[in-house]
Amino acid sequence: MAAAQSKAPRPHDRPGSDSLTAAPAPSAWRIDLRSEYDFLQSEYADLFATADATAFQHPVWLHHIYARLAPARRARMAVVTIRDPDDRLVGVLPLMLRTKTGVRLLETTDLGVSDYACPVLHRDFAARLLATPGLRERIASILPPHDVMRIRPIRREHADAWQALLGGKPEFLGFSAHATELGDDHARWKAEKAAKSLRGRLSRAEKQIVKQGGATLHRLESEIDIRVAMAAIQSLRAGRFEGDPIQEDLVRDFYADAALAGTGEGLAGVYRLDIGDAPAGYVFGLCWRGTYHYLLIGCDYQTYSRCSPGLVLYDRIIADFIDRGGRVFDFTIGDEPFKADFGTDATPMFGLFETPTWLGRLARTAFEARERRKRARDAEDGAGGGK
């Protein structure tokens, strides 16, 4: 069944409800649970364009999450849609349901590849929607049975909306996201934001690069270039980070397919740094509304360690992004120390959890212990690769 509708009334023909500024009664919102939904259709694109969501809710990204990764993880779509009395889509909660070791997880579209969970709400309706009495209970009544509800990672500015929609209390996850404001001039950003130690390392690296024939940054857009880049990132990262998702071919191909589909819409930002005549490193990220969300880096440190290819890549991508009108470089989640050298500000990340069953309560304790171990390992090996 594609949709399970809430039992609340559906007054589509209420007099005077055709105006965007009309305030629907508490029961006027139509709330459905969808096991099938096309994120590439125009109604979602229209909603996304009017929402304060992130690149990780972009139609292309969500389409590939649900089409490629979810089936391989045995996760099924559990998307909540909210419509006004005129059947206009005003809200979407991108959720999925999967079973791990016998535990039913209701969660957002993380799967190890998405850094920010955010409800997609029409700006003109969001405040009234979130203030609707009984809305949380109506949504809860149509959610599929689950042992653990796990909504993460949530940026601070999205926590209240998630809480109003799903209940629970946001909890700090123990890590932050880190981003640097760029302004409109690369030289000024570097002088004012970058740490003195970073500027020194970049200066020394550039001298080594000159000795090796110079360096060129390429923004990749062709299919062959992007697929080669993703394969190279996979290879260059092999053995460096425990549990690295891109070491799975499925995830590598997901990134490549999403990057290719998003290139035409300005979503994907795939870069290659050549030193001399050979590739020295690659970076993949998402671009949205003036922000570059860095996701992956792979560098040939063995050959070019004295050239600090990772740091040079970040610096040159920042310069290129500023030239393209970008204003924020987001290193996304993780507290690797090198990020502070780029003048970043930290944004604490939160999670929203519910455990309605005893099995869920036991499972959450085990999940949290595993996450603590993983964060400790990541902190030790500096998973950002900022060399």
- Could you give all domains of the chain from N- to C-terminal order, each with its CATH number? 3-10+24-168 (3.40.630), 178-346 (3.40.630.30)
Q: Which amino acid is at 159?
A: A
Euclidean distance between CA atoms 6 and 292, whole angstroms: 38
What is the residue whose two structure tokens read 């996850």?
Answer: 173
pLDDT one digit per residue (tens) for the chain, 387 residues: 455 444 333 333 333 333 334 444 556 899 999 999 999 999 999 999 999 999 999 999 999 999 999 999 999 999 999 999 999 999 999 999 999 889 999 999 999 999 999 999 999 999 999 999 999 999 999 999 999 999 999 999 999 999 999 998 899 999 999 999 999 999 999 999 999 999 999 999 999 999 999 999 999 999 999 999 999 999 999 999 888 999 999 999 999 999 999 998 899 999 999 999 999 999 999 999 999 999 999 999 999 999 999 999 999 999 999 999 999 999 999 999 999 999 999 999 999 999 999 999 898 888 788 777 776 766 666 544 443
CB 252, CB 234: distance < 8 Å: yes
Pairing outcome for strands 291-299 and 328-333: parallel
Edge-to-edge order in the sheet of strand 215-220: 75-77, 95-100, 103-108, 148-155, 345-354, 171-181, 328-333, 291-299, 278-288, 268-275, 215-220
CB 363, CB 147: distance < 8 Å: yes
What is the residue whose two structure tokens read 């990780």?
Answer: 56
| Ramachandran category for residue 118: left, alpha or beta (phi over 0 → left; psi -120 to 50 → alpha) | beta
Handedness of CA 319, 342, 154, 159 (dihedral sign): negative
What is the residue whose two structure tokens read 């949205």?
Answer: 288
Q: What's the pTM value of the predicted model, to 2 decimals?
A: 0.88
